[in-house]
Amino acid sequence: MKAYMYDNVPGDQRLPHDSGRQVTADDLASLGVHYHRFPETSEVDALAVERGYKNRDEIVVSPEKMGDVYEDKVKMFFNEHLHEDEEIRYIRGGQGYFDVRNKGDEWVRIQLEKDDLIILPAGIFHRFTTDESNYVHAMRLFKDEPKWTPLNRAPELDGNEFRKGYVSQFLN
């Protein structure tokens, strides 16, 4: 895992966009974002039990696997959004970027690769993209039935109970 401030320079979202300003795992934890490196899936299994995750699936994001919808899907994942559930992703292969908003509402880019696991709290604004290789294989964990419901950033989300909970816990 490598984390840093996003440079906000126009260009392909799949480029590194590294500003050179590093962000530590402790900085991420202060935002409610937790990182683990798990070379063995048994470690993921233990975390799933600890956090009450009962279901999982796997997704491959690549032009070969997704065909003509790949570009549209990658653009959709990159729309700034939040979820009303904690989001856990375990990278099984390839690489990708999760961008999260910090306390100053700036983007922090988190580069993940094989064996990296990230936990994003409910209510955090974030987005995802592959890197230039256009390939990532990820395991998604869910407390109940698999679902992925993004709520795109909009002023009315300020009143969302999960967003308000996140803000009061991590941004105040």
Binding-site residue positions = 81, 83, 87, 126
Tokens in use for 36?
A: 């683990």
Q: For residue 142, what are the β-bridge partners?
A: 55
Tell me how crowded residue 52 is: count the other CB atoms within 10 A of its CB. Answer: 10
Residue ranges for the known binding site for Fe(2+) are 81, 83, 87, 126
Look-up of token digits 């407390």: 143
Tell me how crowded residue 21 is: count the other CB atoms within 10 A of its CB. Answer: 11
List all residues 6 or more positions away from 133 whose beta carbon is below 8 Å from its beta carbon.
94, 95
Residue ranges for the known binding site for Ni(2+) are 81, 83, 87, 126
CA dist 48 and 96 (Å) reads 22
Dihedral-angle region of residue 51 (phi above 0 means left; psi in -120 to 50 means alpha; beta otherwise):
alpha
DSSP 31: T
CA dist 8 and 6 (Å) reads 6
User: Between the CA of residue 30 and those of 27, 44, 114, what are the distances in Å?
Assistant: 5, 22, 24
